[in-house]
Amino acid sequence: DIRAAIEVFFKAGPLQGKRIIVTSGPTHEPIDPVRYIANRSSGAQGTALARALSALGAEIVFITGPARVAPPAGVAVVAVESAREMAAAVEAALPADAAVFAAAVADWHVTTASDRKLKKSKDGLPHLQFGENPDILRTVAQRTVERPKLVVGFAAETNDVLENATAKRVRKGCDWIVANDVSPETGIMGGAENAIVLIGEEGAENWPRMSKEAVAEQLAERIAAALTYIS
C-alpha cells in the first residue's frame, strides 16, 4: 500500500540507518551439469523476514538461493546457488548491524562434481565424495572484527528441537537461534505457517503456530528492539 511505500522510501521506523543481511532459500549443490542436491526450503520465511525488516526501515542485503517464492520488492538481492557462493556473498556484504541466516544451507558439497553428465559406472552406481561447506553462521558469529551486533541463526530440526537448537546456539556462538520442527507431518518446510522456538542467552520462548508473515513481523520487532538496546 501507499503508506508502506512511503515508509520504505523515507526509511522511517526503528531500523532506519541499520544495515541487515538476510539469507534465505535452499542451496543447490551440483553433482554434474544437470543433477544437484537440494532441500525443501521454499524461502518463504526468509523472504517474509526481509520484507518485515525493510518495512521497519532497515537497509536489507537479501542473499538468496534458488527459492520458490519471489524476493521482496525494494531490497538489494544477491542470487546464489551453492553454499560456497552464499558464504562469499555474505562476506562481501559485511559489515552490517545484524545478520539473519534464514537460508537452509547444505552442510556438504560434492567434491567429485563432474563437468559432464555422470554416466553409470561399472557397478551401475555413482560414487560421490563429499566435502564440508563453509559454516556461514559460525564464521560470522565468531568474527573478531566486524562482527554484526546481532547474529541470528535458524535451526531446522526433525527431532529433539529444543536440545539440538540450544546446543547449536552455543556451538556456533550466535546470539539467537530460531528453531522449528520441519518433520514432514508439520507441513512447515514449504508451507505457509511456522511454529518457532526463539532461543537466546536467557532461554527459550515457544511461539504459537502462526503465518510466516506474522512470525516475520514479530521477529523484526524483536530485532529492532535488540539493536536499539545494544547500540
Whole-angstrom distance, CA of residue 147 vs CA of residue 141: 7
Q: Are 189 and 69 in contact (CB under 8 A)?
A: no
Q: Are 53 and 60 in contact (CB under 8 A)?
A: yes
SS3 132: strand
Closest approach, Cβ 6 to its own copies, in A, equals 35
Whole-angstrom distance, CA of residue 226 vs CA of residue 31: 41
Q: Helix axis angle, 44-55 relative to 2-10, nearest 10°?
A: 70
Q: Are 146 and 95 in contact (CB under 8 A)?
A: yes
- Residues identified as active-site: 39
Closest approach, Cβ 106 to its own copies, in A, equals 8
Q: Which is nearer to its own copies, 129 or 228 (CB)?
A: 129
SS3 82: coil
Closest approach, Cβ 35 to its own copies, in A, equals 5
Interaction site with its own copies (CB under 8 A): 28, 31-41, 104, 106-108, 115-117, 120, 124-126, 128, 130-132, 156-159, 182-184, 189
**Which triple of cell numbers denotes residue 140?**
560470522
Q: Which is nearer to its own copies, 118 or 226 (CB)?
A: 118
* Residue length of the chain: 231
The amino acid present at 209, given as its one-letter code, is: R
Closest approach, Cβ 156 to its own copies, in A, equals 6
Q: Which is nearer to its own copies, 16 or 114 (CB)?
A: 114
